[in-house]
Amino acid sequence: MTPNLNGRSSLTRFAWLSIAAAIATISLKSVAYLMTGSVGLLSDAMESGVNLVGAIMALAMLTVAARPADDDHAYGHSKAEYFSSGVEGTLILLAALGIAAAAIDRLLHPKALEQLGAGLAVSAGASLVNLAVALVLLKKSRAAHSITLEANAHHLLTDVWTSAGVIAGVGAVALTGWGQLDPIVAIGVAANIVWTGGRIVRKSILGLMDTSLPDEERAAVQRVLAVHEAAGLQFHALRTRQSAARRFISMHVLVPGTWTVHDGHRFLDRLEAEIRAVVPDCSVDTHLESLDDPASWDDQSLDRRG
């Protein structure tokens, strides 16, 4: 099945939305840092900087992923999305190191915070911008099966929780007067960012390694096959893999030897349509074999060589 390229191209406008949100939040959080001198708010602004780089990368890779298949890329360009999410995850990890370094330096060299009320209000406003954009991206990522938008959305949501932690830490400083709470919270923020970045990188690596479809999608395929197995047909060498929004499924289909080629191919067309109905954006590749030919049972393994 040919993917909806127009639909994939339209995803770039959501990357532009993320870029706009990152620029707005960087500006707001930088103002908050300059007003208060809080290293926690500085760490928050740094993570928004990573958001901007990630959003720009997302825009570039979504543009590439929307390109149609060509002679050099017969399966399309959808895997480009994994580069975007992998780069964003790596940038998140690097930002965490920078935040931790700034926090440790502040622990060793304490500094009084100023204008906490106004600074926290500005930071809270930036967090609301991130939350609104993250929810829009997450909804679209699920509808379009885009790992790029999903990674960007989760990164923004992490930014929201990070901001909440920073605001809580700075607020605690205002209430207790204990300045060390600010860098301690910043270190906690860095640890949270490490977890998120690692998860995004892991998911990107799994995609590049042609990991099988999720359990629920494989189960949906098996339910389709079970209906025909009950009628006496058989299937083996079932392979699945995911390439960002695209899914690829291949299998050998064993039918009675008395069927004509016409009968067999009519059935394959119907079977492929049934599978595409339960697995979105799926390309199905089937190989017809005879139940009555002993050679049909020689290639049941997933990776037959020779």
> Within 10 A of 91 (CB to CB), how many other CB atoms are there?
21
Radius of gyration of the chain (CA): 25
Per-residue model confidence as pLDDT tens digits over 118-173: 667 777 888 888 899 999 998 888 887 787 888 888 778 877 877 777 677 767 77
pLDDT tens per residue across span 40-61:
667 667 767 777 888 888 888 8
- Do the Cβ atoms of 227 and 261 come closer than 8 Å? no
- Per domain, the residue ranges of the chain are 5-208, 215-297
pTM: 0.62
Please give the C-alpha separations between residue 98 and each of 13, 45, 62, 69, 152, in angstroms, as whole numbers. 30, 12, 28, 40, 20
Q: 215-297 belongs to which CATH class?
A: alpha beta
* CA 196 – CA 158 distance, rounded (Å): 7
User: Which of 231, 216, 241 has its CA nearest to residue 271?
Assistant: 231
Angle subtended by helix axes 12-36 and 116-144, to nearest 10: 170
Return the pLDDT at 2: 43
Q: Which residues contact 126 (CB under 8 A, 6 or more apart)?
A: 24, 25, 28, 29, 32, 44, 48, 163
Give the count of beta carbons closer than 10 Å to the beta carbon of residue 14: 25
| Angle, in degrees to the nearest 10, between helices 147-176 and 39-65 | 170
Topology agreement, domain 5-208 and domain 215-297: no
In 3D space, the residue among 214, 286, 223 whose CA is nearest the CA of residue 253 turns out to be: 286
For the chain, residues with pLDDT lower than 50 are 1-6, 306
| pLDDT at residue number 119 | 67
Per the CB < 8 A criterion, the answer to whether 13 and 133 are in contact is: no
Contact at 8 Å (CB) between 22 and 55? Answer: yes
CA torsion sign for 193, 194, 199, 201 is: positive
Name the CATH superfamily housing domain 5-208. Answer: Cation efflux protein transmembrane domain (1.20.1510.10)
> CA–CA separation, 75 vs 83, rounded Å?
17
